[in-house]
Amino acid sequence: MAEEADLDLDEKRQADRYEAVPSAVIFEAIRREGEHELSRSASALWWSGVAAGFAISTSVLAKGSLASILPDSGWAAGISNLGYTVGFLIVILARMQLFTENTITPILPLFLRPTWAKAVNIARLWGIVFAANMTGCLAAALVLVHGHVVPDTRFEGILSISYHYAEATPFEHFAWGVPAGFLIAALVWILPRMDSAGEVLMIVIITYIIGLGGMSHVVAGATELFILVVSGKLGLAEAVFGGIVPAFAGNVLGGTGIFAALTYAQVRNEI
C-alpha cells in the first residue's frame, strides 16, 4: 500500500479537493453533456445557435474597435486580439450552441458506443447548429453594416480586420482552421476542471491564442466575411466556398479528427 503523508482530517479533505480529476471522469462528464445536447429539440438547438452566432459578432466588434484606435504597428495585434475573446466569453459562459464546441461534445457518445442512429443524430445536431450559427452571423453583419450601431471610425476598424481575414486562400483557411478546432475542443475538455474564475481565464487564454495566431474559426470568421458581403465588397459564393467551407473542414479535422480521437484513445481502456 502506498504511504500517505501525515495530515489531519481537514488537510486530507483539502488534498481530495485539489487532487487532479482523472481523464476518464472528464470524458464521462463531456459524454453526458453530449447525450443531453443530442436529445434537445430542434427548436432549442436552433435558437441557441442563432444567439451564439449573433453574440460571437461581439468578438469582431471588440477587436475591430481596438484596431481602429491602435497605430499600424506590429505590436498592435497583441492588444486588439484581446477583443477577440469577448464573444467567446459570452457564448461559452452563457452555454449557447457554438458549432466548434460540438466537434467534440456529441462525438464522445459515438466513440463510446458507435451506432448509425447516433451518427445520424450527430449529423442532425451539426446541421441545425451550424445553420443557426451562420444565420446569427448574417443577422449581426446586417446590423453592423446597416444599423449604424457603431461610429464610422470604429466600423472602419471592423472592415479592416474583415478584409485581412478574407485575404486568406481557401487552403490557408483550411490549414489555419485545424489548430483553431483543436484548441476549442481542448477548451471544452479543460473547462470541467475549472471553477468560475478559472473558466473565464481559460476561455480568454485559448481564444486569445486563436485570434493572435490568425487562425480560422468558422463562426467568428463568418461574421467578418458576411460583413464584407453585406457591404458589397465580397461575393457570397466567394465567402462561402473561399472561407466558410474550408474553415469548417479545418475546424472539424482539428476538433473531431485529432483532439476528440486522441482523448478517446487515452481513456478507452479505463472506461
157 with 65: CB under 8 angstroms? yes
Q: What is the pLDDT of residue 81?
A: 95
**Closest C-alpha to 84, from 63, 57, 56:** 63
pLDDT by residue for the chain (271 residues), tens only, comes to: 444 455 566 655 655 555 566 677 777 888 888 888 888 899 999 999 999 999 999 999 999 999 999 998 889 999 999 999 999 999 999 999 999 988 888 888 888 888 898 899 999 999 999 999 999 999 999 999 999 899 999 999 999 999 999 999 999 999 999 999 999 999 998 888 777 788 999 999 999 999 999 999 999 999 999 999 999 999 999 999 999 999 999 999 999 888 888 887 877 766 6
The residues spanned by each domain of the chain are: 23-267
Q: What is the pLDDT of residue 1?
A: 43
Q: What is the pLDDT of residue 262?
A: 83
Residue with cell 475591430: 64
Residues 225, 231, 235: CA angle, nearest 5 degrees: 55
For 23-267, CATH number out of 1.20.1250.20, 2.40.33.10, 1.20.1080.10, 3.40.50.2300 equals: 1.20.1080.10
